[in-house]
Amino acid sequence: MFRRRKPSRSAAQHGFAFRVAAWIARIIVLFVGLSVLWVVLYRFAPPPVTVTMLADSSGFHKQWTPLSRIDRSMVDAVIAGEDARFCQHNGFDRTAIEQALQRNAQSERLRGGSTISQQTAKNAFLWQGSGWDRWLRKGLETWFTFLIEHLWDKRRIMEVYLNVAETGIGTYGVEAAAQRYY
């Protein structure tokens, strides 16, 4: 009638591969949890500083400005210049990516197909550069783009973008650029 269950094996009795897999699983769960928490935090609070700002050898000047205080023509200009389909896509513009791949295959000069959402993810959470770690950053950029597209609205994405994008040497955000250059 009743079957006796075999006692479960202790962690010490599991093999090396099991222990490694368990640690990898813990690291992944921790990464996912912390990254979601970080994105949720930035949904409500302005990013105080970014990795790019910290790495800027010339120092940095920034001033946070709410989207409500940024002229609508600036928003329109950024959308027109950077990502015409910003309001239609879910963070990734497949058409722009395909066009960039075609252009890059025909030319020596590489040009990207990143959306404003992807640039916001990179600028707010990651680092710049095109070295050996580019593909790691691109993978993380995809993850953070997915998160901000699902946890923020388009207005918040634009607001953060306009406040963390590099607008000159050591200058971040449209308000800091306006003060520095005008």
Mean pLDDT over 138-167 rounds to 96
* Residue 73 confidence (pLDDT): 96
**What's the token pair of residue 181?**
């250059």
DSSP annotation of 62:
E
The residue that leads in pLDDT, 17 or 107, is 17
Cα–Cα distance, 140 to 144 (Å, whole number)? 6
* Residue 101 confidence (pLDDT): 78
* Residue 155 confidence (pLDDT): 97
Average pLDDT for the chain? 89
Mean pLDDT over 148-157 rounds to 98
* Residue 172 confidence (pLDDT): 92
When mean pLDDT is compared across 2-11, 32-41, 60-69, 138-147, the lowest value belongs to 2-11
Q: Which domains does the chain have, with CATH numbers?
A: 13-181 (1.10.3810.10)
Burial 44-75 (b: 16+ CB within 10 A, else e): eeebeebebbeebeeebbbebbebeebeeeeb
pLDDT confidence tier of residue 96, bands split at 50, 70 and 90: confident
Q: Which residues pair with 172 in a beta bridge?
A: 62, 166
pLDDT confidence tier of residue 111, bands split at 50, 70 and 90: low
pLDDT tens sequence across 57-88 = 878 888 899 999 999 999 999 999 999 999 99
Mean pLDDT over 30-44 rounds to 98
